């Protein structure tokens, strides 16, 4: 039976500083991310389209977001689309779609041009928080893998 894939890749700019919530044993960071695409209309004029995404980060990534991310920063994010519901104050059920981030890469240069300080991450730093550790599959020993006399090349 075929299984689905839920993978999102975004490059964009933070619309606001991350809002961080601290729970008993972990943190959650949430912020908006703007992705902008450019195209040309029939007259050849450049047209800009900006889409806003709700980003959520948990645990280690939330700590990185709290320490290094600020409004306007350009980031690369990988994650999954998640939709959740909640009851609004007026009693109606509301739905929100978010990107649950699994990977974060800080892009772009610092805006002030100063040397890096302790509260700034280096440009193009990558932070991952995989849901499960990645373990390579166990295969036959390498000597047996390369001992194929019947291969035509």
Contact 68, 127 (CB under 8 A): no
**Residue 68 within any structural domain of the chain:** yes
DSSP string, 78-104: EEEEEEEEEE-TTS-EEEEEEEEEEEE
pLDDT at 146 over 70: no
Mean pLDDT of 114-134: 44
What CATH number is attached to the domain comprising 94?
2.40.50.140
Count how many domains the chain has. 1
pLDDT bracket for residue 111 (50, 70, 90): low
Q: Which domain holds residue 34?
A: 8-145
- pTM over cut 0.75: no
- Assess if residue 59 is contained within a domain: yes
12 Rama sector, left if φ>0, alpha if ψ -120 to 50, beta otherwise: beta
- Is residue 12 in a domain? yes
Determine, yes or no, domain membership for 153. no
């Amino acid at each position: 039976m075929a299984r689905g894939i839920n993978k999102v890749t975004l490059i964009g700019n933070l619309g606001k500083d991350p809002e961080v919530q601290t729970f008993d044993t972990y943190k959650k960071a949430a912020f908006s991310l703007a992705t902008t695409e450019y195209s040309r209309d029939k007259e050849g004029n450049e047209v800009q389209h900006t889409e806003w995404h709700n980003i959520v980060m948990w645990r280690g990534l939330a700590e990185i977001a709290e320490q290094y991310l600020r409004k306007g920063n350009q980031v690369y994010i990988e994650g999954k689309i998640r939709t959740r519901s909640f009851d609004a104050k007026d009693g109606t059920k509301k739905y929100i779609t978010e990107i649950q981030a699994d990977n974060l890469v800080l892009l772009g240069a610092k805006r002030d041009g100063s040397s890096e300080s302790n509260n700034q991450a280096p440009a193009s730093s990558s932070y991952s928080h995989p849901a499960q550790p990645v373990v390579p599959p166990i295969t036959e020993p390498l000597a047996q893998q390369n001992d194929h006399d019947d291969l035509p090349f």
